[in-house]
Amino acid sequence: MSRNHFFYNIRYIELLAHILSGETITKQRAAELIDVEEITISRALRFYRSLGIEAFGRKSGIKIFNKPKKEDLIFLAANYISSKLSTDYFYKSIKTYSKIDASFFHKIVLLSKAIKENIIIKIKYQRLTDNKTNDYILKPYKLIESNNNWILHALKEDESILKTFYLSRMQHILLTEKIFKKDYVDDNSGEIEEVILKFVPEVEQELYYKIWFDEFEIEKQSDGPFILKTNHPINNRLAAWCISWWDAIEIIKPVELKKYIKEMYSDFSKKNK
């Protein structure tokens, strides 16, 4: 597929993601979703069929009668996110992620669209802490890949602190018709510090799901515990994340992070005796 051909069909990729997410979409609704004339939807269906995806319009909605090839979806998703978010080409990481999440294509495409176009989304999300499924309304800000995990940074409704959501734990994604103003979120204020944290081995699997740093290293120790290294400002988000690990974490450095957390606890104790 040539580069020009790809850009011509970028809206077709968005529509395919909507269809594969399980939405019931008529040709008329499809035209509204990607802002084209209804006749263009017939061209989109022919484009899908050229890729071997048996897509046909029916009165009840557009139907796909076979399972799309994973290789085609990886290619489309990687090129889509590269163009939509003006970021690096993610073919290799998407290919790796596709092995653990069969819904990778429509998640990556729909979230990329929502981030770029400031669209409020609704998701069903299985929390890591208790495996309960909750419904959230989110303002999506950033999509990152970290150690083969795909992570969405978003604001919950009526909140002002970015939260982390793992795509692998999203059970359903719906783009609403509501647009939000993307205000500046001071997520990394302060001077960058080298941060070294030591964890007990029992939380290793949980840790990988809860890491939200863009860059980090993990080193396993011969005596069982493992070390996480990153660079980050000392701020409320980092401190609160460390506290959430209770006695499973030891702060090796910086000393200032320990002091920061102690001051937080002291202030909290004064107000909540």
Residues 215-242: tens digit of each pLDDT? 788 888 777 899 999 988 888 788 889 9
Answer yes or no: is pLDDT of 212 > 80.
Answer: no
DSSP secondary structure of 126-192: E-TTT--EEEEEEEEEEEEEETTEEEEEEEETT--S-EEEEGGGEEEEEEEEEE-------SS-S-E
The whole-number pLDDT of residue 7 equals 44
CATH 3.40.50 is the classification of domain 192-271: no
Cα 127 to Cα 200: distance, rounded to the nearest angstrom: 22
Task: For strands 170-179 and 149-156, give the pairing.
Answer: unpaired
Instruction: Tell me whether domains 3-68 and 192-271 share a fold.
Output: no
Query: Is the entire prediction scored with pTM above 0.75?
Result: no
Q: How far apart are CA 79 and CA 266, in angstroms?
A: 50
Binned at pLDDT 50, 70 and 90, residue 260 comes out as: confident
Q: In CATH, what is the architecture of 3-68?
A: Orthogonal Bundle (1.10)
Closest CA to 75 of 92, 61, 88, 87: 92
What was the pLDDT predicted at 129? Answer: 66
Taking the C-alpha atoms of residue 13 and residue 77, their distance in angstroms, rounded to an integer, is 8
Among 111, 188, 202, which Cα is nearest to 150's? 111
pLDDT of residue 88: 58
User: If residue 64 lies in a helix (H) or strand (E), which one and from where to where?
Assistant: strand 61-64
pLDDT value at residue 2? 41
Angle at 94 between CA 91 and CA 98, to 5 degrees: 135
- Domain ranges, ordered by start, for the chain: 3-68, 73-179, 192-271
pLDDT digits (tens, 9 = 90+) for 2-38: 444 444 478 899 999 999 999 999 999 999 998 889 9
Residue-wise pLDDT tens digits, 104-160: 999 999 999 999 999 999 999 998 767 889 999 999 998 887 666 788 989 998 887
pLDDT at 186: 52
Q: What is the pLDDT of residue 137?
A: 97
pLDDT band for position 190 (50/70/90)? low
The rounded mean pLDDT for the chain is 86
Q: Roughly what angle, to the nearest 10 degrees, separates helices 104-117 and 70-84?
A: 10
What is the reported pLDDT for 267?
Answer: 76
> What percent of the chain clears pLDDT 90, i.e. is strictly above it?
48
Neighbours of 184 (CB within 10 A): 5
CA dist., res. 255 & res. 191, Å (int): 14
Spatial CA neighbour of 232 closest among 254, 250, 249:
254
What's the pLDDT score for residue 216? 84
